Amino acid sequence: MHDVDSLLDLTRTTTRSASKLLCDAHLEALRNHSFDQTLPREMKAAADQALEKNILKALEPLGLPIVSEEFGQIAGSGDSDYTFIVDPLDGTVNFVRGLGPAAVSIALYKGDTPVFGVLGLYPSGGLAWGGKNLGAVLDDRPIRVSAVSNPVQGVLCTGIPSRFQFNENESADLLKKMSSFGKTRMLGAASISLLQVAQGGAEAYSEQGIMLWDVAAGLALVEGAGGVVDVRPGAVPGTVNVLATNGNINLNW
C-alpha cells in the first residue's frame, strides 16, 4: 500500500534534483540535440534522456508502473492502480534555443485520474505542485485560478504540437478558439501553460493531439487550484485533446 503523502514528498525531491541539473549553466552538453526520424518537428535534447535516467533511478524502486516519454511503459512489480507519468523536459526547444521556460514534469495518476503533479521550473529553479484534494502551491505560496468569466477579457494559452497536421479542419478549429479570447499566448511548454491557468495568469489552455506526459502534471495543478479539466482521446493514437479552464470562463466551443 502506497501513501500519497510519501509519494508526493519523494516526487518533489526527485523533481527538484532533476530541475537543478537544468539550471546548472555549465552543463551545456545537455543542450546537444537531434530531430526525430518519424516526426521531423520533434526535437530531442541530451537533457531529455539524462534527466529521465535520474528520475527513473528514484522512482523505479517504488515498484509502481511508470509511463515516460523517453523509455515508454515500465511495468510495476506489484498490483497497483497508481502510475507515474514522466516528462523529463517539457519545452525542449525553449531550453535548447534559449527561447523561454521549460519544466521537469512528474505526475501520479490513479487509473485515468490525476492525483498530484509536480513541476520543476527552468530557468527559475522554482517548484510547483498540486492536486484536486491537495490545493496548489508555487514556491511555497498557494495559488488559485482567476475569476475572469468573459473570454474577451481573458487569456488563452495554446500550442501547435509536432503532430499537428495544419489541415483545414484543425486550423479552423484553432483559429476559432483563439478568436474567442482577448489574447492568445504560445509559451512553448504545455506544463507551463497549465501552470499559468492554475496561478491565474491565463483563463484557459487548449491543445489538440498532445501527449499525456506533456500535460499530466499540469492538469493536476489546475484541479488543485480550483480549475476544471477535460481530456479526450486525440485523432492520432496515444494523443489527447485537452481543455483546462478556471471553471468560470464561458465558452461556446
Grouped pLDDT means (10 residues each) for the chain, 253 residues: 91 96 66 61 72 93 90 80 95 88 97 97 96 97 98 96 75 90 97 99 96 97 98 89 95 78
Euclidean distance between CA atoms 67 and 238, whole angstroms: 12
State the pLDDT at residue 139: 97
State the pLDDT at residue 39: 59
- CA 151, distance to chain mean position in Å, is 23
Q: Is 53 left (phi over 0), alpha (psi -120 to 50) or beta?
A: alpha
State the pLDDT at residue 37: 58
Query: Could you write out the DSSP letters of every residue in the chain?
Result: ---HHHHHHHHHHHHHHHHHHHH-TT-GGGG-EEE-SS-TT-EEEHHHHHHHHHHHHHHGGG---EEETTTEEE--SS--SEEEEEEEEE-HHHHHHT-S-EEEEEEEEETTEEEEEEEEEETT--EEEEETTTEEEETTEE--------GGGSEEEE---TT----HHHHHHHHHHHHHSSEEE--S-HHHHHHHHHTTS-SEEEEEEEEHHHHHHHHHHHHHTT-EEEEEE-SSTTEEEEEEE-S------
User: Model pTM?
Assistant: 0.91
State the pLDDT at residue 204: 98
State the pLDDT at residue 56: 94
State the pLDDT at residue 122: 94
Give the domains, in start order, of the chain with CATH numbers.
4-142 (3.30.540.10), 151-245 (3.40.190.80)
**Total residue count of the chain as it appears in this document:** 253
State the pLDDT at residue 229: 98
State the pLDDT at residue 78: 74
- CA 168, distance to chain mean position in Å, is 27
State the pLDDT at residue 198: 99
Nearest to 218 by CA among 155, 143, 165: 143
Euclidean distance between CA atoms 149 and 155, whole angstroms: 11
State the pLDDT at residue 38: 66
